[in-house]
Amino acid sequence: MQHTISSQTQKLGVNDLSTIQPVEHPRSHFARALISLEHRNFRLFWSGQLISLIGTWMQTTGQAWLVLQITKSAWALGLVGALQFLPVMLFSLFGGVLADRVPKRTVVIFTQSFALLQAAVLWFLVATGTVQLWHIFVLATLLGITNSIDMPTRQSFVAEMVGRDDLSNAVALNSSVFNMARIIGPGLGGLIIAWLGIAPLFLLNALSFIPVIIGLVMIDVKQLHTAIKPIAQQVTIAKVGTIKSIREGLAYIRQKPSVFLVIVVVGIVSLFGINFNVILPLFATTVLHAGPAGFGFISSAFGVGSLLSALWLAWTNKKPDISFLLLASIVFCVLEIIFALSHWYQFSLVLIACVGFSQIAFTAIANTTLQTVTPDHLRGRIMSVYMLVFNGSIPLGNLFTGGLVSLFGAPVALIAGGALSLVAAIAGWIFRAPAEKDIAQSLYHKK
């Protein structure tokens, strides 16, 4: 686009660009939704993720089934989930430092390879009939540690593959792949368990990492949108201690109104509002009286709503917008509370789909906003904090929700979580002015 403007300036013989309109190339709606796939590097990465994430959801389903087979204990199932997410809460900040120091492509190749190894070991243990509960605990913890490095690095690597102009589209497409896999993976996993047993499912997940790793190896580093740092600056970054690097990232968050607002609002909503899926099975059976099949449809409806939201965001290529983010989070909270009050199954299906739509709407824009306004040398650390409040809060959120369920029941727990999240979203709306001004200034300076 810059070359087009420069050539127009030369032809007109003027220095004022304010009167020149950028040339827009017409695109079909479908092509506009896939614009970030025009970048070869992102296309390689995205297509690999499409296969791998289906395998990941298949393994999640198989692992839960395996734990229940061994223990018949819901407590053990919850403990495995906690062990898988707890390392994200403990180590993601260190993962962010690593992402800012080491080439992100190299880090993601390592983490994806280790995840392949974890799935292969689990397959071997199950296939040989030697698997024990402690094996699953250890492997879940190791996978959690891997994710604490992989998540902030993989998230911040997207900007390097597509640049800032197509970042929002790429984030939305990543979200669409995740939600598509969330719809396909569990169902496919269930069919494989019924047809072939659990062991082949873990083998298929291990094999699903191969396309991702091949795609990462094939990425052309010369096409990455990375700022080339002077040698002196590279040496300085390498000499800075890990703790000091973390403090530098946290200081930036405190000083940057837009980043601070997004982190706080998303953090509170994630802690209290986005953990509702832990009680959906109980809600489907005891409140809506829909049984296991009804729970499956509710989960699918949530996934469909999330997928439609991601595709809509990809089509619109929505840019950072604090007002939109906060309005979407308010809508999410209100819909969650209405869902908690509903006793009509068909209406609840529509509501949970809308909950999924609004959740992706505000979390995807939050992701885009943080990566757009954050400077390149801090992006890994800022995204690590985002992963910390978004995924790392899951164990605490599950404890909070589970405790309220045991005391007051599922509807009250869901209403309480939605209400606390709503307070945070409304407070963000009231105090959004400095953040909006900060984003406007950041976008202006990055042009």
CB atoms inside a 10 Å sphere around CB 384: 30
**How many structural domains comprise the chain?**
2
Q: What angle do CA 335, 337, 342 make, to 5 degrees?
A: 90
Boundary-marking domain end, from 200, 223, 246: 223
Residues 305 and 367 in one domain: yes
Residues 143 and 260 in one domain: no
Closest to 95 in 3D by CA, of 83, 107, 85: 107
Q: Note down the domain range covering 51.
A: 39-223
pTM of the model: 0.80
Percent of the chain with pLDDT over 90: 41
Two structure tokens written together for 254: 């405190």
What does the mean pLDDT of the chain come to? 84
Residues 260 and 189 in one domain: no
Residues 247 and 368 in one domain: yes
Residues 273 and 392 in one domain: yes
Q: Which is more confident, 228 or 173?
A: 173
pLDDT value at residue 32: 67
Q: Is 21 part of any domain? A: no
CB atoms inside a 10 Å sphere around CB 217: 10
Q: Is the pLDDT of residue 231 over 70?
A: no
pLDDT value at residue 235: 45
Least confident interval from 14-28, 274-288, 351-365 = 14-28
Q: Say if CB 377 and CB 245 are below 8 A apart.
A: no
Q: Say if CB 201 and CB 192 are below 8 A apart.
A: yes
Two structure tokens written together for 31: 């092509």
Boundary-marking domain end, from 198, 223, 248: 223
Q: What angle do CA 298, 301, 306 make, to 5 degrees?
A: 130
- Who contacts 245 (Cβ-Cβ below 8 Å, separation ≥6)? 97, 100, 101, 381
> What's the pLDDT tens digit per position in 99-128?
888 999 999 999 999 999 999 999 999 999
> What's the pLDDT tens digit per position in 288-322?
887 767 777 887 888 889 989 988 988 887 788 89
